[in-house]
Amino acid sequence: MKPISKNITWLVVAIALIAGVVAAISLFDNTSVNVGAQIKTISGGTVELYGKGIYHNDSLSMAVQAKGQDLVTLFIGVPFLIYALFKNRQNSIKGRFYLTGALAYFLYTYTIYCLAGTFNSMFVLYVILMSLSFYSFLACMTSFELSTIHTYFQKKLPIKYLSISNLIFAFLIGMNWLSYLIPQTTALKLEHYTTFPVQAMDLGIILPAIVFSSIMLLRKHNWGYLLLPILMFKALTLLLALDAMIIFMLANGVEVSIAEQLIFPIYTLIVGFNFYLIQKNIRNIIKLEK
């Protein structure tokens, strides 16, 4: 494992500070702006806007989902990013995996914030967070020595279980997102937005990466050992955010199907268990190349 430039420390600290401020303001700002305003959708329907705070021009569903994401970012994402940075500064291999996975979460989250929802006053900060996360993530990813990555793991790592369970997880999430494209439901799911950025990112990048890493791990290829731990942490934090979104939606009277209320918490438990198995089987060693 190669050492990371000390400049990355400052980038990560900047991400934590900016993301913490953005998430806190977005979560707790409930200033009334245009409460009760409605907008006509391209399909001829009508959507009531949230009307409060940063997300006042978003639909009620989108706004409360964003607040659920902000809750997880502020109280889980930012603290874990700082913890991962501290562990990485100790030249811990687990710390490097944690840091890379945490940065993957922030990269994904603020890319979505840049592309989804309605433009708001935080847009420039979203772009800054996306940029800082991208370059920090690249620095961490390229610091691993791919040819020796398998040596960081104990031989008792349950490769078959992890590979197969994650393939099933990717398939089920993919089917759920594809259901959004059924003509009878597309207009309802879109509300007054124009496309599905989250589904595009997941179907085009994240789920193929999970499938690829699972197959590579099943074949005991180094790409599997590198990618799966990082993707599992990213998946775990995003599922926690989805769970928070569902809670916020139910609390605000937004309809959520019984299937989604049950399925996503179950996914969270499974992915959390998988992440536990992975980090438990990372060798507690320190190995840096000069």
Rg (CA), the chain: 20
The number of distinct structural domains making up the chain is 1
Cα distance between residue 94 and residue 171, in whole Å: 28
Mean pLDDT of 254-261: 82
Cα distance between residue 181 and residue 125, in whole Å: 31
Please state the φ and ψ torsions of residue 27, each to the nearest 5 degrees: -75, -40
Would 265 be classed as within a structural domain? Answer: yes
CB-based contact 249:65 (threshold 8 Å): yes
Would 285 be classed as within a structural domain? Answer: no
Would 141 be classed as within a structural domain? Answer: yes
Q: Is 177 exposed, middle or buried (0-12, 13-18, 19+ CB in 10 A)?
A: middle
Q: What is the pLDDT of residues 196-206, one digit of tens each?
A: 999 999 999 99
Would 30 be classed as within a structural domain? Answer: yes
> Using alpha carbons only, what angle is made at residue 222 by residues 217 and 223, rounded to the nearest 5 degrees?
75
Question: What's the token pair of residue 167?
Answer: 């393939």
Q: What is the pLDDT of residues 33-82, one digit of tens each?
A: 999 899 988 777 889 899 999 999 999 999 999 999 999 999 999 999 99
Would 97 be classed as within a structural domain? Answer: yes
Would 287 be classed as within a structural domain? Answer: no
Q: What is the pLDDT of residues 21-43, one digit of tens each?
A: 999 999 999 999 999 899 988 77
**Residue span of the structural domain in which 169 resides:** 7-280
Would 105 be classed as within a structural domain? Answer: yes
pLDDT on residue 257: 80
Q: What is the pLDDT of residues 160-199, one digit of tens each?
A: 999 999 999 999 999 989 988 988 788 888 998 989 999 9
> For residue 108, is pLDDT > 80?
yes
Would 246 be classed as within a structural domain? Answer: yes
